[in-house]
Amino acid sequence: MRPSQPPTQNRPRRKPDLTLPLPRRDPSFAVPLPLPPTSNSAPSSSNSANSVSHQTQSPLLLPDLEKVQRIGSGSGGTVYKVLHRPTGKLFALKVIYGNHEDSVRRQMCREIEILRTVDHPNVVKCHDMFDTSGEIQVLLEFMQGGSLEGTHKPHEPSLANLARQILSGLAYLHRRKIVHRDIKPSNLLINSRKQVKIADFGVSRILAQTMDACNSSVGTIAYMSPERINTDLNHGVYDGFAGDIWSLGVSILEFFVGRFPFRVGRHGDWASLMVAICIAPPPEAPPEATREFRSFIGCCLQRDPAKRWTAVQLLNHPFVLQNQIQNQNQNQNQGFQHQLPPPPHQNSSSHG
């Protein structure tokens, strides 16, 4: 017989647990609710492309552009002043001639696509690009004052302001690893508000890649650096950024003296230009110029590209800084001139 169990009547009874666990949510079945619309919400992908490239409420379509007049032409194409009929705004339309191969045209379109993202107050805005019937057409900001070709600015404060604007745009391009390759007075434009802007950046390189060298005009080499004309110089290494600085220096000196600063005309034959640029000593500012301006030109026109100052360095050159302060506060002209550090004329070769 089993032993009798003790009575269980005195054992405390366990209270029943009537609580139920909350069900666990399976995230795979979750359906997010849409957010309410906001006024500053990000645009869709299709709209964002238009907002980046057009910067206008309505897209810029080629049929909406009416040619008003031709404002320039060259070996690579023609530039027209055009009216956007829906908005009444004026633009410049650059038509690049040539029936290019598909691979070349795709490369041109890719590079122009990059140029459409450039946004700086001293760089001409590239609004859009059209590829029609083998012609590349680039829609650009219209500059009412035209180019600075033929400009004579012997007044140094005004010239320094002009140089500062060009250097600001050039420093922006160089920071973005964009080399202009064709800085010259005809590619420096001015608008009705006296803003100076760099034009034809990148497009000149596209043209150089797609045009035969013997068809390019002789005048384009007049502002090229020595090492770009003669590839034997500088051990065959070409620094495009330093090349832009040389071209800037030639242009600024031309504005000051009122003529092409070399002993030969800029439309001279190729051999004469090569001797003047690659063999003869670099041109200098005339003796009547201030020491700051002579130093500025010397920092640009160094034969060794490694010794040329960068755009950022030139923005801090005494010639630019002195006249910038003079323009802002003309009452302090005399006192500030005595506080300037000596221009780096004697040891300019030590700066890169």
Name the burial class of residue 291, with classes exposed (0-12), middle (13-18) and buried (19+) by CB atoms within 10 angstroms of its CB. Answer: middle
Of 312, 317, 269, 315, which Cα lies nearest the Cα of 293?
A: 317
Of 286, 257, 258, 261, which Cα lies nearest the Cα of 273?
A: 261
CA 210, 212, 215, 219 torsion-angle sign = positive
Task: Give the Cβ contact number of residue 197 at 10 Å.
Answer: 20
Q: How far apart are CA 126 and CA 115, in angstroms?
A: 6
Residue 19 is encoded by which pair of tokens?
């609580």
The verdict on whether residue 94 carries a ligand-binding annotation is yes
By annotation, the residues acting in catalysis are: 182
DSSP-derived 3-state class of residue 75: coil
Q: How far apart are CA 88 and CA 339, in angstroms?
A: 51
Q: What does 243-294 look like in DSSP terms, one character per residue?
A: HHHHHHHHHHHHHHHTS-SSSS-TTS-HHHHHIIIIISPPP---TTS-HHHH
Helix or strand (DSSP H, E) at 80:
strand 77-84
Residue 350 is encoded by which pair of tokens?
């030590």
β-partners of residue 73 are 78
Annotated binding site for ATP: 94
Binding-site residue numbers are: 94
